[in-house]
Amino acid sequence: MNASEPRPPRALAADWVEGRLSAQDAEHAARLAGSDPDFRAEADFVREVLAAGQVMPLVEPPPVLRQRLRQSFQQWHRAPSSRVSQLLEVVASLVFDSHRHQLGLATRGAAATMPGPARHLVYRCELADLMVEARVDEDADQVDLRGQVLLSHDTGSPIFTAEVLCPDRATLSVDADAVGRFSVLAPRGATELRVSNGEMTIIAELDLQTEES
């Protein structure tokens, strides 16, 4: 060790506890631990941190983030000539509206158990069916949209984010799961729903101002 530039006590303690010191420096640290209460406390602190790190649960990243990272790695692993430069966009047609058909229909999962009246919308395109359940929050003047993308074929990434477009702003949600479900809070004046998985975007026209007959 260089006596003119002593290592900070905590750095020395960390290197000692983790076994990164030379034999000579390790002997010096061991002597310090036996004679210097402050250094011994630093070493004990490092041991506690290491022990906590071994048992502390790590939070899994959201499915959307995992999918985007995977897609990014796959994209840049390809040769430049084969990289996708633009998302495929398709417009879905409305084929069912419970306000018009007066028939109950619920998406799979949590959306089916939400309290209060709901409006159910089903859109269709060549790539997927898009099922949406809309529940109005009159106090907040917004609509809770929960839906699911059902891909026509077992191709493409299953996790879809939702974006709601209004004349003056956009609202984006990253609440999505591995079976195509999503949720987003939309203003009553929203005109368009766009769901994307990083490879394709499905566009659905919205009219959330329509009242129940």
Phi, psi torsion values for 109, nearest 5 degrees: 95, -155
Mean pLDDT, rounded, for 132-155: 86
pLDDT over 60 at 103, yes or no: no
pLDDT tens-digit series, residues 107-137: 444 444 444 578 999 999 998 999 999 998 8
Asked if 122 and 94 touch (Cβ cutoff 8 Å), the reply is yes
Residue 110 pLDDT? 42
Residue 176's DSSP bridge partners are 182
Tell me whether residue 166 is exposed, middle or buried, using C-beta atoms within 10 angstroms of its C-beta: 0 to 12, 13 to 18, 19 or more.
middle
Q: Distance between CA atoms of 15 and 22, rounded to whole angstroms?
A: 10
Q: Distance between CA atoms of 110 and 150, rounded to whole angstroms?
A: 16
Mean pLDDT, rounded, for 81-92: 74
Phi, psi torsion values for 85, nearest 5 degrees: -95, -15
Element (H, E) at 204: strand 200-205
Query: In this structure, are strands 119-124 and 128-137 parallel, antiparallel, or unpaired?
Result: antiparallel
Helices 23-35 and 9-17 meet at what angle, rounded to 10?
120
Most confident by average pLDDT, 77-81, 91-95, 104-108: 91-95
Torsion of CA 204, 205, 211, 213, to 10 degrees: -70
Tell me whether residue 145 is exposed, middle or buried, using C-beta atoms within 10 angstroms of its C-beta: 0 to 12, 13 to 18, 19 or more.
buried
| pTM, entire model | 0.57
Q: Provide the residue ranges of all domains of the chain, joining segments of one domain with +.
A: 9-55, 84-205
Residue type, 46: V
- For residue 42 the two structure tokens come to 């630093």
